[in-house]
Amino acid sequence: MKDNTPSGPQMAAILLAGGAFALCGYLAANHRERIAPFLPALISLMVVSGIAFLAAVYAFYLRPQYGSRSLPALFLFLAGHMLMVLVLWRLGALGG
């Protein structure tokens, strides 16, 4: 693994997309009644920002560090996060 880290603007793109995803998720979960007419647009924005976040992580962080092994690293990253959500859900920490 190389020691390539994202530059400032690249890290800002990653954080902006991730922050937009988190904000949209928060608004959709906690203010659903107040923003009901805009909920489909908010969910669409959440999906787009999630895809932008994953693309930015892949392009600016994983690909420079892992090279040809970056796509499997991205899938491993996603699988690990899905496993964490599954464990939290089964424990009841997510309200399910």
pLDDT tens-digit profile of 43-69? 999 999 999 999 999 999 888 888 889
Under DSSP, the state recorded for 69 is G
The mean predicted confidence, pLDDT, of the chain is 89
Check: CB of residue 32 under 8 Å from CB of residue 39: yes
Residue 62 lies in a domain: yes
Residue 3 lies in a domain: no
Q: Which residue's structure tokens are 């991205």?
A: 74
pLDDT value of residue 1: 52
**pTM score over 0.85:** no
Q: How many domains does the chain have?
A: 1
Under DSSP, the state recorded for 58 is I
* Residues spanned by the domain of 46: 8-91
